[in-house]
Each structure stands twice: as C-alpha cells, then as structure tokens.
Amino acid sequence: MLQPTMHLHNLEFHVERTGSGPPLLLLHGFTGSSAEWAALLPALAPLRTVIAVDLIGHGRSSAPADPARYTMEHCVADVLALLDALGLARADVLGYSMGGRVALHVAAAAPERVGSLILESSSPGLADAAERAARATSDNALADRIEREGLDWFVDHWAAIPLFASQQALPLAERAALRARRRQGSAQGYANSLRGMGTGRQGSLWARLPTLGVPALLVSGALDQKYVAIHDQMAERLAEARHLSVSGAGHTVHLEQREAFAQLVVGFLRQGFRC
C-alpha cells in the first residue's frame, strides 16, 4: 500500500493514490494541494489509478528555505522521480494553472513519460523576455510581502485578486473549504514557489509546442477571457490538441463547474478527441 509520504530528492512529498486502471497524475495550482481534487475522484477513480501529489512548498509536502530548490527544473525532476518511485514508465497528466505549467515542462523534458495532457487554465509561459523579467520582479515583491505579512494575510489577498472574481459565486461553504485548503501551506512555501517557479521564472515553451507530439485537451472557463485566448493560441500550435471552454466558469473550472469539468475529462480519457 502506498504510504502518504514519499521521500524524493531529500524532501518529503505528500501523495494520494486511489482507483484502478492506467495512471493519471494530478497536479494542482499555486496555493493548492492534492485535496484540490477530492470531489473529482468519484468520477475518475473507476477509470484510472489516480495519483495526486502536493508539489514542493504546498500542502503537506516539504517547504525548504532555499528558493533555488523550487525551480521548474527541480519540480520536473521531482515529478519524474515520483513516477520512478511508483514504477510508472508513463502516465497521463492533468494539471491546473501552475500544475499545468509543470505538466507541460514534464512533457517537454521527457515526452516518453507522458501519454496525454489535460491542461486547465494554464500556459506555456511568457514569450517576451522583458515581460518575464517584469513578472519576476512583481512575484519577488509579493513573495517578500507574504513573508512579512504572514499566511492569513496572503490567503485573503490571493482570494481577492481579479483572476478569481468568479469564485464569489461559489457557495459560502465551498469558499471556506478553499480557504482552509490554501492555509495548509506555509508563507515560506508560497513565497519561495513564486521566487523559484513563478510565471516570470520559468522559460517559455511557446516555440516548443509544435514539437511536443502529446495529445492535449485544453480546458478554460468562458469567463476567464485571458486564458481562453491563451488556449486558443496553444491549440493552434500543438500538433494534437482540442480546446473546450466551459460556460459559467472562470479560472477554476474544476471548482466552479465541477460536473461539466468531470464530464470533459472522463470523455477525453475514454474517447480521446471524440469527447
């Protein structure tokens, strides 16, 4: 039986596994954790062995003090080490936001390890170097403030950014549960995640998209016009991709329109692009 704590590259990672069938790896977004996916497991577990990991600095995984340990390259190595530790040569990967960026980088680094990609509200990074530098500066400033103001300040600040405005339509109990999940992390973990693998720190994969050769389902929320546009552009560049936009949802489609999101994912896992 899988132990919930796995030791990878001298750090502890919290991992949940359930279900049966071919492996499906779930990668959460920034401030998330493996608990992010709990409501989707009844739909996914009958089809797949579902593996959900708390990425570095998140949930119940280690949050080391050195920001250099949080780079995208290190995170990709951690994910590949997880697959190795589980004896998996290959897995399908579902990633949300930051987790989708990690999934893309895993596919770019080791395409033979990824059967297909399901990317929710994600991107290949910022193509313009000046824009990346500006974003890195902004993320560093926010990281400093997280450590100065503390976890509770940051959780409330993050929930109030415009990207998540549509979450205000969620029932109060669900918003409270989301806040509690975000509080599972630490100020140090979130700050260093921004410093090490924030959008401004990761390299751009836009030029690599046509060469990936991995089937990809792209899911965006229709209210999140920024990521609808990004996914349209990604679908044009990926060799085998389909973009589906879900009405009534913003950035967090899997929370805001849970049943519709589950149907898309299950359909893709069962039928590929015939979903």
194-207 tens-digit pLDDT: 999 999 999 999 99
What is the model's pLDDT at position 272? Answer: 74
Tokens at 152, concatenated: 């509770």
Which is nearest to 181 in space by CA: 75, 70, 44, 37?
37
Q: Which residues pair with 24 in a beta bridge?
A: 50, 92
pLDDT at 242 over 60: yes
Helix axes 129-149, 151-159, angle to 10 degrees: 130
What ranges do the domains of the chain cover? 5-274
Q: Which stretches within 128-257 are classed as H helix?
A: 129-149, 151-159, 172-182, 187-197, 209-212, 225-237, 253-256
What is the model's pLDDT at position 3? Answer: 62
Helix axes 129-149, 187-197, angle to 10 degrees: 170
pTM: 0.96
Q: Who contacts 158 (Cβ-Cβ below 8 Å, separation ≥6)?
A: 31, 164, 182
pLDDT digits (tens, 9 = 90+) for 21-78: 999 999 999 999 999 999 999 999 999 999 999 999 999 999 999 999 999 999 999 9
For residue 20, CA distances in Å to 3, 42, 81, 116 come to 17, 12, 21, 18
Which is nearest to 32 in space by CA: 199, 255, 232, 219?
255
CB 113 within 8 A of CB 89: yes
User: What superfamily would CATH give domain 5-274?
Assistant: Alpha/Beta hydrolase fold, catalytic domain (3.40.50.1820)
pLDDT digits (tens, 9 = 90+) for 136-183: 999 999 999 999 999 999 999 999 999 999 999 999 999 999 999 999
